[in-house]
Amino acid sequence: MSSEAKIRNYILENYLFTDDESALDSADSFLDKGILDSTGILEVIYFLEDEFEIKVEDTEMVPENLDSVNNIVSFIERKRQ
């Protein structure tokens, strides 16, 4: 499964309680759309660290890295380089 699919599934299953793919656009801002609050973002960080075996540093905990599926996919790709 691609990184994007894993992240999308995680959000759909845990925060939107659906398997309807159309419920989430990969560009949707989690915070602006009210999908996640700040505790939800911490949950996502916990998931990313566990699933992708990365360490998210304090300075990386910014919306540009974490606030949409697309942002997370790019962030993980940068972390893996």
Partner 1 sequence: MHALAERYENEIINFDRDKEVERICETMRNIMRSKLRRRGVVVAVSGGIDSSVSAALAVTAFGAKKAFFIQLPEVDSAEDTQSRGSQLIEHLGVEHTTHNIAATLDAIGCYDARDEAIIKTFPEYTDGWKNKIVIKGGLNGQVNHFMLVVQDPHGQMHEKRLDLREYLQIVAATNYKQRIRKSIEYYHADRLNYAVIGTPNRLEYDQGFFVKNGDGSADLKPIAHLYKTQVYALAKHLGLPESICNAIPTTDTYSLPQGQDEFYFALPYQEMDKALWAHNVGASASDLASMLKISEEQAKFVFQDIDNKRKTTHYLHAKPYLIDSIPELGL
Residues that bind partner 1 (CB under 8 A): 31, 34, 37-39, 41-43, 45-46, 58-59, 61-63, 66
Residue whose CB is less far from partner 1, 23 or 42: 42
CB of 21 to partner 1, least distance (A): 25
Q: Which amino acid is at 66?
A: L
Residue whose CB is less far from partner 1, 13 or 21: 13
CB of 41 to partner 1, least distance (A): 5
DSSP 1-42: --HHHHHHHHHIIIII----GGG--TT--TTTTTS--HHHHH
Which one, of 37, 11, 16, 12, lies nearest residue 63 by Cα?
Answer: 37
CB of 16 to partner 1, least distance (A): 17
